[in-house]
Structure 1
Amino acid sequence: MRTSRKTLSAAAALAVLVTTVTVPSASAAAASPPALSDFQLVPTQTDKQTIVDQLDARLPKLGVQNILTQANRDDAPKGAACTSPALDTNTLPVRDKFCFNDGDVRTTEWVPQGITTVADAQDDQYWGDKQAVLVSWYDKQTDPVKGVRVSFLDTATGNYQHVLLVYPYTNTSGNPSYEQVTTPQSGDHGSVHAGGIVWYGNYLYLVDTNRGIRMFDMRYIFDIKSAGDGDVTDSSRVGRHDGTYYSYGYRYVMPQVSGWSNPDGLAEFPPDYRCAASGPQKFSYLGLDRSTNPDSIVTGEYCADQDDDNLNGRVARWPLDGDTGKPAPAADGRWKASQAYRLPTPRVQGAVSVDNRWYLNSTGGGTTGPGHLRAAVPTGGNPGVLATDGAAHDVAVGVEDLSYWPGRDQLWTVTEHDTQRIMYAVSRP
């Protein structure tokens, strides 16, 4: 296992507590804490590893280092040439940035959403000798629906490679196969929105808005092009058909190995991106906090402005097992949030926390107005309410998920709108 546990000293723990003492804003005073009992997940898709093992016996695979080395998207602008009109509204110094190539910047089929880095993956912030940034995309088209892909970018070169995420199953002939990642996961349904990802140890965590969290294993990235029974020339098919494995034309696929879902299955939420004040959480985005003991995943809700401070959305913290890279469930087998807070603002697209100080990306300006990055701290105990700490900063148009890179003290995000896409980092405000 690549991830080690960490302990907090008494002094550090005291410092964390001190940073949470703040004067509540008007918004925080008006909102009430959420119920911690609303944040529970149960293990699902527990048979998927068996099918992945069967695929492993039939298909060649490649490790993350080799995928980064031979990344085929090598024509993206680099250095000073890497820029985007999305950054025109950004008021914070850009610490680092990477571009997509022209085809990925302009495509209206695929939309980038989630972001994670090798600093989430492990403490030393290296995967072998590589440092990578990963970005998730969901497919907007309906025929065929291709689900979710992830870009693996080598920060040393700026080159990247797409990997298609897939859902394994046993077909009617009794052979291991796979299909695109959709919600619900059967039939003709839309792609999982892929609003947030976290790479932790060997696992890639992906939010599924109405369901919970899906898990993929970096040790099982299958090379369809190199398979004797693989076909990457047909971009209209996925899975095993007549003895041949297809992948919508992508060279690599990574199948789901397990999942954690709402106890009552797919949750229902109000229409038009509105949220409920209580009940199961909407899983809109995902982040990692390595400053807690144990490490923890944070999840949150994207909610339209409903003129009600209790409907801005909620964030929660979920404990991880640093020895296995997997969730740390309670004694009853359920994965339960250890903390939950009401958000101080609507339209939050991404959140991370560091030493109990939260950082929130929000939007609201469409394809032209700026995004906003603000800090917030807990008030009212746990569960509680986040109160904005300092001014909100105008940032790039269309900012999405957030990821924190401790060694560089950088907040990373990705912008979503076609012709305005870029990955970039700023310092914490």
Structure 2
Amino acid sequence: MSRRNLLAAALSAAVVTTTLAASPAAAAPAAAPNLNDFVLNNTSGDLQSRVDKLDAQLPKLGVQNILDQANRQGSTGSACTSPALDTMKEPTLRKFCFNAGDTDTTEWIPQGVTTVADAQEDQQWGTKQALLVSWYNKDTSPAKGVRVSFLDPATSKYQHVLLVYPYINSNGNPSYEAVTTPQAGNGGSVHAGGIVWYGNYLYLVDTARGIRVFDMRSIFDLKSATNGDTADQNQVGRQNNVYYGFGYRYVMPQVAGWSNPEGVVDHPADYKCLAGGRQRYSYVSLDRSTNPDTLLTGEYCGDQGDPNLNGRVARWNLDGATGLPSPDGDGIWRAKSALRLPKPRVQGATATDGRWYLSSTGGGTTGPGHLQAALPDKATGAGVLTVDGPERDVAIGVEDLSYWPGKNEVWTVTEHPGKRVLYSVPR
């Protein structure tokens, strides 16, 4: 080879070597999560006794009666239209629109969804087949926490119920405050990214803390109370012997809590996730196809270009007889399995018969949301989910998921002001 050719070969090799050196290292394949990261301690303390003291002060109303006298009129069927649905590639099975005030408000943002099919195996609550949606309060002072809409699709009517945290005030009287993180002081509203109605209980995820539990049998009616006020929208709890709820008629106090061993966890900013450590409790759903029934939790993670940073989902056993968590013998509630997600930006996850369904975003306020089926990857171990079938374009701003057995429906709600709708699609 001539000297010129030798020089050319050397330069070519140098270019290749430099290019290879400059190329980023390929991300490691996704590995199964560490189950030790999924642990919750019972931090209920005397919450139930505080609620019992409220019970002596305030009248209650049951879910069916709340639905019967619901004060807001929504719409269903052809009367329900929303620009959020413009990106749908298939017809919805059922849909529900809120009234104009709730559709357009920037003060409250809808996030979580659950149905009577989660609550009862026979899918009935009295004569009702209710749907529930959680909303978090945004950018108000003081923060108003979380409200839940109880919707009756048979009448298109619904009623908001304010979730609250009970405490005993300085005078020794039972009171309550908004649901925030941290709970006392200047905390912001809990994000309320997912809810599950199971038996008599409502499970609410608290992103950095764990899971809060409320009791459907303890919904207090401030309008019917001799010492209640529903006119003042700026006060909450017992003030000068009068009970307030930011103007809402009904309040439902927390009765139990399950928290990270460290309490509130300081997760990375900008929705960045770690491969290990405590899970973000971003959303929650129920799987009735397992024995026992299992609560499913998961985390929302931004796209970091690494399959180990897409987020994780976990299963937690429930006690079908009581509707409460089923902890281990030492009283600690541990997840029985966990899986890595196959994609980032997952806003909700549910499962049935071993198959998972994931909602995800990425199109902002104009692009479609997505629905994706997934299965555990047996080739790499049960700790990783892989996509199963095509990604389906769904409504803009898709959030939490809930599966309705028998009707073969996957329910979700959209979050953006002016583009809010609760709807279902085929599984």
| CA positional deviation for 1:188 | 1.3
Does 2:306 correspond to 1:308?
yes
Q: Secondary structure, in 3 states, of the residue corresponding to 2:296?
A: strand
Question: Is the Cα–Cα contact under 8 Å of residues 181 and 191 in structure 1 kept in the other structure?
Answer: yes
Q: Secondary structure, in 3 states, of the residue corresponding to 1:420?
A: coil
List runs of 5+ in structure 1 lacking aligned partners: 1-26
Q: How does 1:24-43 map to 2 (within 5 A)?
A: 30-43=29-42
Between the aligned partners of 2:49 and 2:381, the Cα distance in structure 1 is 39
Q: 1:28/1:255 Cα in 2 relative to 1: closer, same or farther (>3 Å)? A: farther
From 336, 344, 347, the equivalent of 2:345 is: 347
The residue type equivalent to 1:57 in the other structure is A
Map of 1:24 onto structure 2 = none
| CA positional deviation for 1:383 | 5.2
Between the aligned partners of 2:27 and 2:81, the Cα distance in structure 1 is 37
List runs of 5+ in structure 2 lacking aligned partners: 1-25
Q: Secondary structure, in 3 states, of the residue corresponding to 2:248?
A: coil
Does 2:373 correspond to 1:379?
no
Q: 1:167/1:108 Cα in 2 relative to 1: closer, same or farther (>3 Å)? A: same
Between the aligned partners of 1:38 and 1:143, the Cα distance in structure 2 is 35
Q: 1:230/1:39 Cα in 2 relative to 1: closer, same or farther (>3 Å)? A: same
Does 2:106 correspond to 1:123?
no
Map of 1:11 onto structure 2 = none
Question: Is the Cα–Cα contact under 8 Å of residues 341 and 382 in structure 1 kept in the other structure?
Answer: no
Between the aligned partners of 1:142 and 1:308, the Cα distance in structure 2 is 36
Map of 1:250 onto structure 2 = 248
Q: Secondary structure, in 3 states, of the residue corresponding to 2:118?
A: helix
Q: Secondary structure, in 3 states, of the residue corresponding to 2:75?
A: coil
Higher relative contact order (CA 8 A, sep 6+): 1
Does 2:159 correspond to 1:171?
no
The residue type equivalent to 1:325 in the other structure is G
| CA positional deviation for 1:382 | 6.6
Question: Is the Cα–Cα contact under 8 Å of residues 302 and 344 in structure 2 kept in the other structure?
Answer: yes
Between the aligned partners of 2:318 and 2:124, the Cα distance in structure 1 is 20
Map of 2:153 onto structure 1 = 155
The residue type equivalent to 1:371 in the other structure is G
The alignment's TM-score, normalised by the length of structure 2, stands at: 0.92
Question: Is the Cα–Cα contact under 8 Å of residues 195 and 401 in structure 1 kept in the other structure?
Answer: yes
Does 2:274 correspond to 1:276?
yes
Question: Is the Cα–Cα contact under 8 Å of residues 142 and 190 in structure 1 kept in the other structure?
Answer: no
| CA positional deviation for 1:143 | 1.1
| CA positional deviation for 1:93 | 2.3
Between the aligned partners of 1:208 and 1:250, the Cα distance in structure 2 is 22
Map of 1:390 onto structure 2 = 389
Question: Is the Cα–Cα contact under 8 Å of residues 77 and 94 in structure 2 kept in the other structure?
Answer: no
The residue type equivalent to 2:399 in the other structure is E
Q: How does 1:63-82 map to 2 (within 5 A)?
A: 63-74=62-73, 76-82=74-80
| CA positional deviation for 1:269 | 1.0
Between the aligned partners of 1:286 and 1:107, the Cα distance in structure 2 is 25
Q: How does 1:26-425 map to 2 (within 5 A)?
A: 30-74=29-73, 76-380=74-378, 384-425=383-424
Question: Is the Cα–Cα contact under 8 Å of residues 28 and 307 in structure 2 kept in the other structure?
Answer: no
Q: Secondary structure, in 3 states, of the residue corresponding to 2:396?
A: coil
Between the aligned partners of 1:414 and 1:177, the Cα distance in structure 2 is 32
Between the aligned partners of 2:266 and 2:329, the Cα distance in structure 1 is 28
Q: 1:336/1:382 Cα in 2 relative to 1: closer, same or farther (>3 Å)? A: farther
Between the aligned partners of 1:383 and 1:323, the Cα distance in structure 2 is 29
Between the aligned partners of 1:54 and 1:291, the Cα distance in structure 2 is 38
The residue type equivalent to 1:262 in the other structure is N
What per-residue deviation string (whole Å, max 9, x for no partner) do you get for residues 307-332 of structure 1?
A: 11100000000000000000000111
Identity within the alignment, %: 68
Between the aligned partners of 1:93 and 1:79, the Cα distance in structure 2 is 11
RMSD: 1.3
| CA positional deviation for 1:28 | 11
Q: 1:332/1:149 Cα in 2 relative to 1: closer, same or farther (>3 Å)? A: same
Between the aligned partners of 1:388 and 1:321, the Cα distance in structure 2 is 31
Q: Secondary structure, in 3 states, of the residue corresponding to 2:117?
A: helix
Question: Is the Cα–Cα contact under 8 Å of residues 28 and 385 in structure 1 kept in the other structure?
Answer: no
The residue type equivalent to 2:286 in the other structure is L
Q: Secondary structure, in 3 states, of the residue corresponding to 1:120?
A: helix
Q: Secondary structure, in 3 states, of the residue corresponding to 1:94?
A: coil
| CA positional deviation for 1:243 | 0.6
Map of 2:22 onto structure 1 = none
Question: Is the Cα–Cα contact under 8 Å of residues 76 and 153 in structure 2 kept in the other structure?
Answer: no
Question: Is the Cα–Cα contact under 8 Å of residues 351 and 402 in structure 1 kept in the other structure?
Answer: yes
Between the aligned partners of 2:381 and 2:35, the Cα distance in structure 1 is 8
| CA positional deviation for 1:420 | 0.1
Q: 1:28/1:407 Cα in 2 relative to 1: closer, same or farther (>3 Å)? A: farther
Between the aligned partners of 1:77 and 1:388, the Cα distance in structure 2 is 35
Between the aligned partners of 2:422 and 2:131, the Cα distance in structure 1 is 9
